[in-house]
């Protein structure tokens, strides 16, 4: 499938314009290119992929933007990928199976770590690595969010990206960063948006049990930690939604690949002025990417906390783009009425909480948000009051 945009333009014969070297490269891989709003990565069809000597497919999304993309890598039982290196960043999230990864450091020393379901690891820039499936019976499937579109579209030279001898010893981190240990730092954000906790490492053995920290500015009981992986320009964070609650809606730049890690529920997405919501399911294996400046909101409807992993361009250390810098400084946790990007609970459409109450009724779990909403009133609202356009209190453009 070709997900290039078709523009109504004309050009002289032989003119080389409107090229997309990344998509050209992807199509040459001869594996499926899945394109949708989001994907169940556990069920996507894969095919033999010579690039890794494994199986794979591209999981492209309409909201992936210009810098990042995603592919699924599947290693057959007892098999391994071929050694590979690349001049782009890559974050791997283990969807299923058990295995190990061996990274060859710039010194020539090899470092091997073992991973399992819901592990997260990053490959230091241009280090050669090889991924092994340690099971003789089960497939191992990993999701890889990467900035290959940025790299290929900038250099448009495959040899430079995949066979470059340059080494980056400053990117490998400490030795213990490969065994699940790391360094904890904090920074205080602007506009009373809360303190952010950052864990610097290369490998997180299990996202479901990793320690998170309170971040109530994103919703009461919300918890979060930022990851600085392999001194990268790409960003990752994991957040948790408590039982009986949901996050506040916000919006940001394109390209944030959101993976549901634990729990069940749904996400709603809309542009200001829409009359209907886009709804996506929330369960392990599902990944989606909110398009540019589209509000999105995550809801937990099960009886355990729901966690997710978000990967995008622009880390706390290297924001890279101005929109990411503003998000990291607190814009994503500040009300739109104060020039930020977040809709506070008291300003949201009544349909949002009504839908949440209906979903909880189906799942048999209670709401724990009656301290914030008049739930009895909302539950009794007639149908004619639960329609209309979705609007925010103050409209602000992406320059903020």
- Segment 307-360, tens digit of pLDDT: 999 999 999 999 999 999 999 888 889 999 998 999 999 999 989 999 999 999
Determine the pLDDT at residue 389.
Answer: 73
CB neighbours of residue 320 within 10 Å: 18
For the chain, state the CA radius of gyration: 21
Decide: 139 and 77 in contact? Cβ < 8 Å: yes
Question: What's 317's DSSP letter?
Answer: S
- The CATH code of domain 21-170 reads 2.60.120.10
Q: For residues 397 and 400, what is the distance between their CA atoms, to the nearest angstrom?
A: 7
Decide: 223 and 216 in contact? Cβ < 8 Å: no
Q: Is the pLDDT of residue 225 over 60?
A: yes
Question: SS3 of 326, please?
Answer: helix
Among the four given CATH numbers 3.40.50.460, 3.30.43.10, 2.60.120.10, 1.20.59.10, the one describing domain 177-345: 2.60.120.10
Q: Is the pLDDT of residue 142 over 60?
A: yes
Q: Grade residue 14 by pLDDT with cuts at 50, 70 and 90.
A: confident
Cα→Cα distances 387→299, 360, 380, 382, Å: 20, 21, 14, 10
Would you say the C-alpha torsion 345, 348, 353, 359 has a positive or negative sign? Answer: negative
pLDDT above 90 coverage of the chain, percent: 85
| Closest of 116, 48, 122, 115 to residue 82, by C-alpha | 48
Q: Grade residue 10 by pLDDT with cuts at 50, 70 and 90.
A: low
Answer with the residue of higher pLDDT: 304 or 328: 304
Q: Is the pLDDT of residue 206 over 80?
A: yes
Q: Which residues contact 85 (CB under 8 A, 6 or more apart)?
A: 126, 127, 128, 129, 162, 164
Q: For residues 65 and 40, what is the distance between their CA atoms, to the nearest angstrom?
A: 20
Q: Is the pLDDT of residue 68 over 90?
A: yes
Q: Where are the domains of the chain?
A: 21-170, 177-345
Determine the pLDDT at residue 384.
Answer: 65
Determine the pLDDT at residue 8.
Answer: 57
Mean model confidence pLDDT for the chain: 93
| Closest of 66, 72, 123, 56 to residue 256, by C-alpha | 66
Q: Grade residue 7 by pLDDT with cuts at 50, 70 and 90.
A: low
Mean pLDDT of 107-134: 97
Q: Is the pLDDT of residue 396 over 50?
A: no
Mean pLDDT of 137-162: 97
Q: Is the pLDDT of residue 133 over 70?
A: yes
Mean pLDDT of 241-254: 96
For residue 386, the number of C-alpha atoms closer than 13 Å in the C-beta half-sphere is 13
pTM: 0.94
């Amino acid at each position: 499938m070709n997900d290039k945009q078709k523009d109504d333009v004309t050009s002289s014969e032989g003119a080389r314009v409107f090229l997309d070297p990344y998509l050209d490269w992807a199509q040459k891989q001869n594996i499926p290119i899945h394109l949708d709003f989001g994907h169940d990565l556990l069920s996507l069809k894969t095919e033999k992929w010579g690039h890794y000597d494994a199986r794979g497919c591209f999981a492209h999304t309409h909201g992936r933007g210009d810098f990042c993309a995603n592919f699924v890598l599947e290693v057959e039982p007892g098999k391994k990928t071929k050694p590979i290196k690349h001049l782009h960043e890559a974050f791997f999230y283990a969807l299923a199976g058990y295995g190990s990864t061996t990274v060859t450091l710039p010194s020539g020393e090899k470092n091997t770590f073992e991973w399992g379901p819901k592990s997260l690891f990053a490959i230091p820039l241009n280090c050669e690595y090889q991924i092994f499936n340690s099971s003789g019976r089960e497939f191992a499937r990993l999701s890889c969010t990467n900035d290959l579109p940025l790299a290929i579209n900038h250099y448009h030279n495959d040899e430079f990206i995949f066979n470059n001898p340059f080494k980056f010893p400053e990117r490998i981190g400490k030795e213990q960063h490969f065994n699940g240990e790391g360094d904890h730092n904090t920074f205080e954000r602007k506009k009373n948006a809360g303190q952010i906790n950052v864990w610097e490492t290369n490998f997180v053995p299990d996202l479901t049990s990793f320690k998170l920290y309170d971040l109530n500015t994103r919703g009461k009981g919300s918890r979060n930690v930022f990851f600085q992986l392999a001194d990268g320009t790409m960003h990752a964070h994991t957040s948790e939604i408590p039982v009986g609650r949901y996050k506040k809606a916000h919006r940001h730049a394109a390209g944030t690949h959101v993976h549901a890690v634990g729990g069940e529920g749904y996400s709603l997405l809309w542009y200001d002025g829409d009359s209907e919501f886009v709804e996506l399911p929330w369960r392990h294996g599902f990944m989606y990417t909110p398009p540019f400046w589209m509000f999105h909101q995550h809801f937990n409807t099960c009886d355990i906390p729901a966690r997710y992993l978000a990967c995008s361009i622009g880390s706390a250390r290297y924001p890279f783009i101005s929109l990411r810098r503003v998000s990291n400084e607190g814009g994503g946790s500040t009300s739109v009425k104060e020039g930020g990007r977040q809709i506070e609970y008291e300003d949201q459409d009544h349909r949002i909480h009504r839908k949440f109450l209906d979903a909880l009724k189906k799942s048999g779990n209670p709401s724990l948000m009656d301290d914030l909403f008049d739930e009895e009133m909302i539950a009794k609202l007639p149908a004619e009051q639960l329609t209309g356009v979705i609007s925010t209190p103050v409209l602000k453009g992406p320059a903020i």
